[in-house]
Structure 1
Amino acid sequence: MSYPPPPGQGQNPYGQQPQQPGQQPQQPYGYPQQGQPPAGGQPAYGYPQQGQAPYGQQQPGQPAYGYPQQPPPPGGTVQANSGYININYLGTVQLATMGQRFLARLIDGLIIGVVMSIVMFAGLAGTLGIASDMEDCGSYMDPGYQACIDEQSQAATGAFGAFFAIMMSLAVFMLLYEWLMISFKGATFGKMAMGLRVVKESTGQVPGVGGGFIRYIIPMVGAFVCYIGMLLVYLSPFFDNTGKLQGWHDRAAGVVVIKK
């Protein structure tokens, strides 16, 4: 005679069937099985999907919640304390040192100085020649003395006018030499000799007429104050805290001086 098993033995009070050998364990009611999404494909409320980091934790390579990703640094950024700079369309280039820039300007000064010396010597020789011709007019008592003096005075006036025109042409030459060569070539003869080049920081191209003029005229304006302003402009790269060695004239024109 068989009797039913006592309560609590061999029966599941919640109506679940006992696990058979080789069968995977069943999840409690209301919880999805591991490796399978719940009905509808949506995770249970409060549980992250598989492959996602738990709430409050950031996956590698993902921006923090609420903060947009920062764009890559633009061209013109400096590699700290290395003397190099990244310029658009040129890549990483080496900045010209102040010593190299000084030697380049010294060479330019010698070139301009030689041209000025030739012009001034020619003008001085003409003036001395006219003075010598006036002495040949003799004494004021001699006949024709006044006519000779008048003739030589007219010659002197013409010589001084020519000398003034030459000096103005020299000033124009100095303007065009620095301005146009930087504008279209990116370098004067001195910078070419030192292997330097002036380029726009934003594009890596030559400064152009506008940029070259701005870079030239700022030191020239400073020269009106006993050349002290010009000296400060040329020394201003020492005061640049960006690491680009830009002078005030460089920054105004948006250019940097680099090694070729």
Structure 2
Amino acid sequence: MPPLANRGRRLVARIIDAILIGVPVSVIMTVIVGGVDYFSTSSVEAGKQSTVSGVTMLAYLIYEGVMLAKRGQTVGKMAMKIRVAMLSNGSIPTAQAAWIRAAVYTLPEIVPCCGFIFWLVNVLWCTWDQPYRQCLHDKAAKTVVVSTETAPAGGMPPTA
């Protein structure tokens, strides 16, 4: 099994993916629904906001599921030289594991109020989880995030 990826690289990879998927999809959806006033309290604007958020979430779910099932990496993970691996053997996630991981990461936000709290606990879980530094979406899919960097010339793997 390659060494575990550090939390900083995982965070930056998520930020890259969120920008890569979230910004274009949100902009396109905002244009389609005719603009969104995020400071309005009208039910029409709330509906527009929900539509934009829902489509963006669906796009991220599909992106994450497809990329992990095919490569074990998203574009952000490639840039940060990390990948998702099956805990049992270090291989690229099975299609089922990839989609479970993507769903547990993305879909809880559908639930008003509580969804964000679950998401926050989920992503912070790796800060205290031992020994594999798994988030809840990793535990659900039986995956870990590992480094793809090769060992330096001295033969010692990079520390995570």
Partner of 1:238 in structure 2?
A: 127
Quote the offset at 1:109 in angstroms.
0.9
Counterpart Cα distance in 1 of 2:82 and 2:136: 18
Aligned length: 131
Partner of 2:29 in structure 1?
A: 120
Counterpart Cα distance in 1 of 2:137 and 2:115: 18
Q: Deviations over 1:69-99 (max 9, x none)?
A: xxxxxxxxxxxxxxxxxx2xxxxx2211111
SS in 2 for 1:197: strand
Q: Is the 8 A contact 1:222 1:233 kept in 2?
A: no
Partner of 1:220 in structure 2?
A: 106
Alignment of 1:13-28 (within 5 A): none
User: One-letter code of the match for 1:175?
Assistant: L
Alignment of 1:33-48 (within 5 A): none
Alignment pair present for 1:256 and 2:128? no
User: One-letter code of the match for 1:194?
Assistant: M
User: One-letter code of the match for 1:97?
Assistant: N
Counterpart Cα distance in 2 of 1:96 and 1:207: 16
Alignment pair present for 1:108 and 2:17? yes
Alignment pair present for 1:174 and 2:60? yes
Q: Is the 8 A contact 2:57 2:106 kept in 1?
A: no
TM-score using structure 2 length: 0.71
**Normalized per residue, which structure has more helix?**
2
TM-score using structure 1 length: 0.46
- Identity %, equivalent residues: 33
Q: CA RMSD in A?
A: 2.4
Alignment pair present for 1:207 and 2:116? no
**Does 1 or 2 have the higher relative contact order (CA < 8 Å, sep 6+)?**
2
Counterpart Cα distance in 1 of 2:35 and 2:9: 40
Partner of 1:247 in structure 2?
A: 135
Q: Is the 8 A contact 2:85 2:145 kept in 1?
A: yes
Counterpart Cα distance in 2 of 1:241 and 1:167: 33
Structure 1 stretches (4+) deviating beyond 3 angstroms? 124-127, 166-172
Counterpart Cα distance in 1 of 2:29 and 2:14: 22
Q: Is the 8 A contact 1:219 1:229 kept in 2?
A: no
Which ranges of structure 2 fall in alignment gaps of 5 or more residues?
37-50, 149-160
Choose 1 or 2 for highest CA Rg: 1
Which ranges of structure 1 fall in alignment gaps of 5 or more residues?
1-86, 88-92, 128-163
SS in 2 for 1:258: strand
SS in 1 for 2:25: helix
